Structure 1
């Protein structure tokens, strides 16, 4: 078992290209685990873990259990807004990705960490909660919902700052989280985010009133992820 995790920063990257890259790493890991089961313990090859950070051009993604009616824009409007749309293979409903948002894709073999998807989601949330705490923002969870929320205990004020949507097979994960830092929140007006109609969306910039150095925020988040998961991060 190895918690060594390769950190990869893709910068601003097309969603489909990034999805294909994730799928490649995910498939390699799953295939290796299947192959290892046929081998003696001495002959097995260890799987690798990856943590990918990036930003995407404007894009909406709909999870496999999502409702396409939660996209409130037609093709012509999406073209006008320079936004793409993809139906994808993660859990969850519809969400938005765009510049100024930290998108994280951990491709982990959870056999190296713990085999518990609910715990995995809570750990992702915890790293974001700790990052927000670094900026003096108290955040937490809403019972029955994923993601990180501000004022989650007050239905009138509750607003999401980080969305989660993952896929796993044979305890290998892909997809991940989207943390709104300097995100243009206007783009959330054209969807029912995560299928939740009665709660708002926010960003770190909106809460603090100024634009953040996103590289600084990424550094804090990366360190918290490494700490929470006890990863040995390598560039």
Structure 2
């Protein structure tokens, strides 16, 4: 029987609000796992899988092992530009979130799929590789660098199209990926993206030469997520009312 993943589009939402929601859902799942352990052998935890989509107002986020010096502007400059800066508990270094970027936050109990964080990250990358492949783009992996790239093995040509950073607690995931669709890439000039000096950032719009419908790209992500994770994707309205959407 396929696992069900509840899909919710949160719309445009502040980064901290989305982070708080992820923490809430993660805690619900880890509490359910603790309750099952307390019941004894054979008890099945009543965990629920979620895939949250959203778009954030302009924000730079730094991973827990990231380097603050990869932010190249001052607090005063950030305030003048109307950009937030948030230190997070995900993996990875610094990245940007903003308009026309698809941010996906899977909150998944990996023990109901496979207890392997490396495999999980490779599967997330595969979702994006197949998605951008639908638009004629050849996404690849770069050895030792999580995310999806174009021409990672070509000196001077390597460019990142999708950043990834996750957290996992008791095999429940949070945080996720950010795919640049029609994203304003000038925001990346204020940081050393992902702490990598010699590789640039790109978007689907820049690579295809056309503005893409974000809703269509999001639907392709859901399709490939279902296929790669062998899951049933269920459209949810769980958070629409409480988020005013």
Q: Distance in 1 between matches of 2:27 and 2:50?
A: 13
Q: Distance in 2 between matches of 1:6 and 1:155?
A: 41
Q: CA deviation at 1:154?
A: 0.6
**C-alpha contact 1:60 1:86 (8 A) present in aligned 2:** yes
Q: CA deviation at 1:31?
A: 1.5
Classify the secondary structure of the residue corresponding to 1:72.
Answer: coil
Q: Distance in 2 between matches of 1:113 and 1:45?
A: 13
C-alpha RMSD of the superposition: 1.2
Please tell me whether residue 172 in structure 1 is matched to residue 197 in structure 2: no
Classify the secondary structure of the residue corresponding to 1:218.
Answer: helix
**C-alpha contact 2:2 2:230 (8 A) present in aligned 1:** no
Count residues in correspondence. 235
Please tell me whether residue 74 in structure 1 is matched to residue 74 in structure 2: yes
Q: CA deviation at 1:109?
A: 0.1
Please tell me whether residue 230 in structure 1 is matched to residue 227 in structure 2: no
Give the structure 2 partner of residue 32 of structure 1.
32
**C-alpha contact 1:159 1:201 (8 A) present in aligned 2:** yes
**C-alpha contact 1:140 1:149 (8 A) present in aligned 2:** yes
Classify the secondary structure of the residue corresponding to 1:115.
Answer: coil
Distance 1:108 1:153, change over 3 A: same
Spell out the pairing of 1:62-211 with structure 2 (5 A cutoff).
62-211=62-211
Deviations 1:178-226 (A, max 9, x none): 0000100000000011100100000000001111100000001111011
Q: CA deviation at 1:43?
A: 5.3
**C-alpha contact 1:108 1:173 (8 A) present in aligned 2:** yes
Deviations 1:52-89 (A, max 9, x none): 01110000101110000001111111112211011110
Q: Distance in 1 between matches of 2:155 and 2:127?
A: 24
Give the structure 1 partner of residue 12 of structure 2.
12
TM-score, normalised to structure 2, is 0.93
Runs of 4+ in 1 over 2 A off after TM superposition: 40-45
Residue ranges of structure 1 left out of the alignment (5+ in a row): none
Q: Distance in 1 between matches of 2:5 and 2:220?
A: 17
Q: Distance in 1 between matches of 2:124 and 2:155?
A: 23
Q: Distance in 1 between matches of 2:85 and 2:28?
A: 26
**C-alpha contact 2:29 2:46 (8 A) present in aligned 1:** no
TM-score, normalised to structure 1, is 0.97
**C-alpha contact 1:7 1:51 (8 A) present in aligned 2:** yes
Spell out the pairing of 1:40-51 with structure 2 (5 A cutoff).
40-41=40-41, 44-51=44-51
